[in-house]
Amino acid sequence: MNKTRLVGAILLTLGMTADALADNGFYGGAGIGHATIDACDGVTNCDDTDTGWKIFGGWEMNPNVAFEAAWVDFGEISGSVGGSAASAEVDGWTLAAKGTWPLNEQFGVFGKFGAIMWDVDGSGAASGISDDGTDLMYGLGAQYMLTNQFGIVGEWEWYDIDSDVDLYSIGVLFKF
């Protein structure tokens, strides 16, 4: 019985929070796609592509300008170094300014420019290798709003993480 009350209280709180935040410009979403990490120099049998995904959130200052933060996981690059298997996982946090050009009430195109704070961790022959940094990122995309609160987003993003990293993704967008 206590679990039912707790779940009810949480749902009521979330409902009240959603009403309080309605039409304030906040949005969130997630995307999944294809990541390519151009880092195969000196690596044989290199596989530099993997599934990438991200979770993002932002605030639309107006219909043309937004600020967006995201967690991005580019997956893993793998291959052989000196005959031994090696791999590395790449991920990071982004912060970007986003400019949108609404073509009509449902559809718009956008560009974004910002930075990524990235982290690379190696395994196998690359075990113990860890690197991080902050570099530039930019992207282009389009979004189609199916309702006032729900839409789909497709985009390409480029990240300057010691080498070129590209992420092509499709995702969902929820406006609060």
Question: What are the pLDDT tens digits along the chain (176 aa)?
Answer: 455 665 565 555 555 554 444 568 999 999 999 999 886 666 777 778 899 999 999 999 999 999 999 999 999 888 877 777 878 889 999 999 999 999 999 999 999 999 999 998 877 766 777 889 999 999 999 999 999 999 999 999 999 987 789 999 999 999 99
Least Cα distance to 174 among 21, 13, 5 occurs for: 21
For residue 6, what pLDDT is reported?
55
State how far the alpha carbon of 50 is from the alpha carbons of 66, 88, 89, 130, in Å. 29, 11, 10, 19
- Return d(Cα 88, Cα 112) in angstroms, integer: 27
The domain made up of 26-175 is a member of CATH 2.40.160.20 = yes
Place of tokens 């690197």: 131
For 32, the 3-state DSSP assignment is strand
pTM: 0.80
Least Cα distance to 47 among 85, 8, 1 occurs for: 85
Amino acid at 76: E
